[in-house]
Homo-oligomer: A and B are copies of this chain.
């Protein structure tokens, strides 16, 4: 066993894949594992074996950071602290992530949402750099929102679930009931990738750029951004995820948001939409990087300085 001092562990626990990594205190990745998300037994088992072998090879972890799909229980006083709670993902309701990985690693564990971890990555290395407050929105198989306030991920009584807010219907979209099993036509129910597929009978990526779907989609995402603007008053909103990769989307959301704000409030009216709504720039592994940074803060009491983002 080669003892590497201060080795950090991280997990990006997604609905389709788990990324596990260990890194030095300098953020350099020593070893990683990518596994599909199957049953908790299979996936947590494989991830646990990865960390057990890492510890055998490199010594104990200074801390482990976990960024997970949710909803999660983030309240340390709650009985279910560290669990995934009411997810519709079969088998994962009440999965006890902290309990499992504490047993395997015996390390202090930092636990937050996948989107808050991605926001941490953007804060350190991407479009949130230098900002005290910003929102990170990802539009893909769901709609996730990470909120940074005063330079740290916002928790409140638990974590934001702003992808589930009620929104007005876009013009021309009155007939679609929405697909959220809890709310029907909340933001995620109307504007996630699977909602677009259900609404139009084909995956979003196969819709031509002049299809009316995109204006309707932009309307919902702009309404979500208007709400975040009025409630959080962030310095920026970072908009990513598969649906935002459609070439015209970011421009359409910017135009729609400008119309929706309607010139209200001088400090909002003065914003340049091109600067205010930005794409993520911290790279595809921003969630894993954020989970590693969370481990660093847990082990050393501060965000890492001087790390370079992994390619």
Contact = CB atoms under 8 A, between A and B. Distances in A.
A233 B156 contact: yes
Given A149-B149, A260-B183, A158 B267 contact: yes
Nearest to A269: B86
B231 A266 contact: no
Contacts of A232: 154, 156, 160, 231-232
Contacts of A223: 166
A132 B167 CA distance: 28
Contacts of A235: 156-157
B262 A183 contact: yes
Nearest to A161: B230
A263 B262 CA distance: 34
Interface string A117-153: 0000000000000001100000000000101011000
- Say whether chain A's binding surface is mostly helix, strand, loop, or mixed: loop
Contact of A267 (B73, B133, B145, B169): B73
Nearest to A267: B158
A166 B167 contact: yes
A168 interface: yes
Contact of A161 (B150, B155, B158, B264): B264
A53 interface: no
Contacts of A161: 230, 233, 264-265, 268
A161 to B, nearest CB: 5
Contacts of A149: 149, 154, 156
Contact of A234 (B71, B157, B169): B157
Contact of A262 (B182, B230, B260): B182
A249 interface: no
Contacts of A202: none
A233 B157 contact: yes
A87 to B, nearest CB: 10
Contacts of A281: none
A6 B158 CA distance: 40
Contacts of A230: 160-165
Contacts of A132: 156
A158 B233 contact: yes
A263 B161 CA distance: 13
Interface in A220-271: 223, 226-228, 230-235, 260, 262-269
Contact of A86 (B78, B166, B260, B265): B265
Contacts of A264: 71, 86, 161, 164, 182-183
A55 B207 CA distance: 69
Interface of A: 71, 73, 75, 78, 80, 85-86, 132-133, 145, 147, 149-150, 154-169, 182-183, 185, 223, 226-228, 230-235, 260, 262-269
Among all A-B residue pairs, the 6 with the closest Cβ atoms: A156-B233, A85-B266, A182-B264, A182-B262, A71-B265, A158-B267
